[in-house]
Structure 1
Amino acid sequence: MRAAVLTQFGAPLTVREVPDPDAGGGEVVVEVLAANVAPYAAEVFSGKRKYPLVPPVVPGVGGVGRILHVGPDATRLRVGDLVWCDSTVRSRDDALTPDITLQGWSSRGEGGARLAEYLHDGAFAELMRVPTENVFPLPAAAGEDPARWAALTVHTISYGGLLAGGLAAGETLLVSGATGNLGSSAVAVAFAMGAGRVVAPGRNKAALDLLADRFGPRLRPVPLTGDEATDRAAMSAAADGPIDMVIDLLPPSAPSSASRAAAMTVREYGRVVLMGGVGMLGGDDLALPYPWIMRNSITVRGQWMYPRTANVGIIRLLASGALDLAPERVRPFDLNAVNDAITYAAAHGGPFDRTSLTPSAG
């Protein structure tokens, strides 16, 4: 098969022939129809983000595909099924605190690194080997436009964060980082889940206008100034009532003060979910005040990725039409143009901009 290979950090990906994957028990081989290309992929492949990938590696985080082979323990999946392949792989030998690797992308700790040695390669290839429990059936509509449905990579993450915070219908949510690729997804998913209002702070006026045009008066845009106290007051005022939950999805380049300003708008007994990259590349700690957390009974939760069941939930939201992919701007690239796709994604990382690689096309 053909695959795009990261041979070393800082070098372009190389498209070349590699051996076909061979699935054992508990595994599935999938023909990859489409895979999302993250806006920050160039930072990963350059080494700037210091992800624990070990070259040579086929990168790519999750994908839409069609099953070519199922292992003997699969009871419902069939050859030919259209499926979503979740990259969040968990070890099977510790139910309480399983080690995690993001197949073809990243891992957590020593155990995650060991898992990544076995499930080394991701979705930037014509074929991919995936654990059986990471494969989820898709509706037929996904087969008509798999490049668009590859946005599941983004939407499943934001959905997992909203589940972690227990977002309920009618509540007011603040999305810190709302004008970004992942943050805008959280806005859309929150409304699909029944949020009453979403406060969307950001510095990009065009992105804020786009969100307001799409979601109407329930979306409350807030232009940020960079002054922590001023911005906190503006976000609180925009909610026109208590803010029940804050989800932070800011990238590593954002200052911790921006995350803190957003988090401290939440009401008494409110919830804060931290899911972004603040502090990953250095900088000040978040430093939420102990007395404020304690006296206001605030729940602060970190969330990396999402539980396995989130895949089912987000597919249901899409299949029902509650979450609409139609307004998203999708630019597909074939496998030979993988480096062009990476460059394009870096320049198109705004709200509802998606870049997809289509390895099996052509």
Structure 2
Amino acid sequence: MASGEYRKEDLLEENRTDSGIDSYRSILKEDPFIKTAREPSSDSSGPRDKFSSGEERLDSAYGSSSLTVESLTEMVSETFSISNTQEQAQGTELSEQEQEENLLTTITEDGDTILHLAIIHEDEYFAQQLIQLFPKDVLDIQNNLYQTPLHLATYLNLPGVVEGLVGKGASLELQDQDGNTALHVACQHGQTDCATKMTRDISSSKLAPVLETQNWRGLTCLHLATLNRQHHLMKLLLKKGAGLNIQEGTSGKTALHLAVELHDIQSVNLLLNRGANVDAGMFNGCTPLHLAVGRQDATIANLLCQSGADKMLRNLEDETALDLADGNDDILALFPFDDIHISGRSVVGVNY
């Protein structure tokens, strides 16, 4: 999904409330935006519930397009009005500062803060103002899908907002409902600029846990970058110290196994040149060479052999890579004597 898919044309309309803290201060002072009660609807069917089950979820879903600037303004106004009415009922008068804080820290029924909503609207200026205003704890609030503002800014490819959040101390370790950190999101969707901003000024000690984090599918950031052929991101992650030989949680594949499965020779070369274990075994004992031969990829099989792959390693089915060659002459040429056995023992390495 393109990040501009639901970018609103009405962001520039003259009647739109200006972005920024000052504009929301004006909301607190001027009656047109603050309603003590919902005005009667001209629609005979009654007021429409913007969270009704018949409409697409608008806040926490990445691809939502039903939220408009007008409905955001209305949501903010109504939220403040309800809160303010409750305070007045308790006989408490709020100062302007307290009212502003109340408004800006309000959370919708979907768990989104005003900052989440500003980012969903791709209103970068207002988002940056909120980032400067909010304390770190508010920046790390997760909505009902466990998405932080950093997750959303990354998905929507807003590197400036990502930089602002990370610079203010937003956590890189928080995981969404799929177990993905914001860096996972960047690697999955190829958001190189966001990943660069996210990792630029972070110490290795702070970044290491993020690089080792596995989502609920058992995938690290390097696994995701490899699966999506994001070579620039792979280089960035490796430069930052990503573990080359971490096994994903489902079958024990390393990034090299994944690259071999994809027939991605560029990734294979990159990983081997950075020191990936050419003989790493999956949970079933298969090495990258087993996978290359099993997929009849003579080019990658040859590259692995040139990098020192052990041709005699056996998986849990007691198979060597040669056993999976299935008569492929190009691959069999890589094993000139492996099929010759005397008394059940290979003649390779035997001195006569």
TM-score (norm 2): 0.27
Higher relative contact order (CA 8 A, sep 6+): 1
Of the two, which has the highest radius of gyration?
2
If each structure's strand is expressed as a fraction of its own residues, which one has the higher value? 1
If each structure's helix is expressed as a fraction of its own residues, which one has the higher value? 2
